[in-house]
């Protein structure tokens, strides 16, 4: 999917008077990891409107919805197209006695973040 098609789809869902610098801000997004907060901030819309925009992009085949597992230190441990495809456990790192060591943590006990990927 080209940036032009992405831009066309987005402009259908934003206010008629988009903020200046919008094209540049959208071009600066990582097409492999588009978070709702990025869309909300760039477009100057509410979180619910940003979610509607992203879900519309999914339905139109522009975006692919993804989910990632976040370790307690904020690092990403795994990602998949949906929660059912995530591994049962992941390896995270924790500090103990001044050293870092790996620790297996059940995926169900960790937070997950939804993000979107631009279909290419």
Is residue 80 within a helix (H) or strand (E), and if so which, with residue range? strand 76-80
Q: What is the pTM of this model?
A: 0.77
Residue with tokens 């206010």: 15
Torsion of CA 61, 26, 117, 41, to 10 degrees: -110
Number of helices and strands (H, E) in the chain?
4, 6
pLDDT in tens, 61-95: 889 999 999 999 999 999 999 999 999 999 999 98
Q: Which residues of the chain have pLDDT under 50?
A: 1
Contact 116, 66 (CB under 8 A): yes
């Amino acid at each position: 999917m080209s940036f032009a098609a992405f831009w066309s789809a987005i402009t259908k869902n934003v206010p008629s008077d988009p903020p200046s610098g919008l094209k540049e801000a959208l071009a600066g997004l990582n097409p492999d990891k588009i978070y709702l907060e990025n869309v909300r901030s760039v477009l100057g819309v509410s979180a619910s409107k940003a979610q509607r925009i992203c879900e519309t992009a999914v339905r139109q085949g522009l975006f692919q919805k993804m989910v990632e597992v976040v370790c307690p230190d904020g690092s990403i441990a795994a990602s998949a197209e949906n929660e059912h495809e995530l591994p049962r456990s992941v390896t995270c790192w924790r500090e103990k006695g001044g050293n870092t060591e790996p620790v297996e943590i059940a995926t169900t006990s960790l937070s997950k973040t939804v993000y979107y990927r631009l279909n290419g």
